[in-house]
Chains A and B, each alone.
Chain A
């Protein structure tokens, strides 16, 4: 897998950083000249993953979110969003639409949105160690 360009950042799991995280990722991939819809899809998926880190992974203790964005051959990008939080005991259940442990104001649609707005989504998690969400998206350059 050839990596043409790469961007890494880490930021504390504060809700004020949700906006910064998705805008930073969008700014980095702007060099591929994505469409408005592609940018919006990626921002939404990043926002969901980062929000999960804040609402779930670091519910009990403050920690950091680690984001890696890679530009791969052929206009493909990968985005990895990792935390060292509580982990997910049952990933399959967590990914079910409308399932949430966070109460009435959370829709339980974070993973459903990520799946729908990206080409491929992988979730790895270990209880007590953390969760890694990796997604890929093909950018169809506008030229």
Chain B
């Protein structure tokens, strides 16, 4: 799965798209990690506005990026999750690790 990545100043934004499961998470992880490695941003924005489905593989994806960003003091923000995605994120307590914001 391809995701669009924008870099602005000290911020990397990944626009996630479609369905996030164990099958698609690997590609997303690689693309986001490459951007983190290259830019070491202060903030990583994960934009879920176009994500139509997510299971616990998506939690693994967010947790893994949270760990990577923590290594250099960066923060993770979760943008625009749908109600069903928010339900999965809350179940995993992700709202305690990353700010959930709606634009």
Contact = CB atoms under 8 A, between A and B. Distances in A.
The finding on whether chains A and B are genuine partners in a shared complex, rather than unrelated, reads yes
Interface of A: 15-16, 18-19, 22, 36-37, 40-41, 43-44, 47-48, 51, 54-55, 104-107, 109-110, 112-113, 116
Nearest to B61: A105
Contacts of B53: 22, 40, 43-44, 47
Contacts, number: 66
* Dominant secondary structure at the A interface: helix
Given A105-B61, A113-B55, A44 B88 contact: yes
B23 interface: yes
Those 8 A-B pairs whose CB atoms lie nearest each other, nearest first: A15-B23, A40-B84, A107-B59, A47-B55, A107-B60, A109-B56, A51-B22, A105-B60
Contact of B64 (A36, A104, A109): A104
Interface residues of B, number: 23
Contacts of B57: 51, 106-107
23 contacts: A15-B21, A16-B23, A18-B21, A18-B23, A19-B21, A19-B23, A37-B83, A40-B87, A43-B53, A44-B55, A51-B21, A51-B56, A51-B57, A105-B25, A105-B29, A105-B60, A107-B56, A107-B92, A109-B56, A110-B56, A112-B91, A112-B92, A116-B91
* Dominant secondary structure at the B interface: helix
Interface string B48-84: 0000011111011101100100000000000000011
Nearest to B94: A107
A22 B21 CA distance: 11
Contacts of A40: 53, 84, 87
Given A105-B64, A109-B92, A48 B56 contact: yes
B19 interface: yes
Nearest to A36: B84
Contacts of A18: 21-23
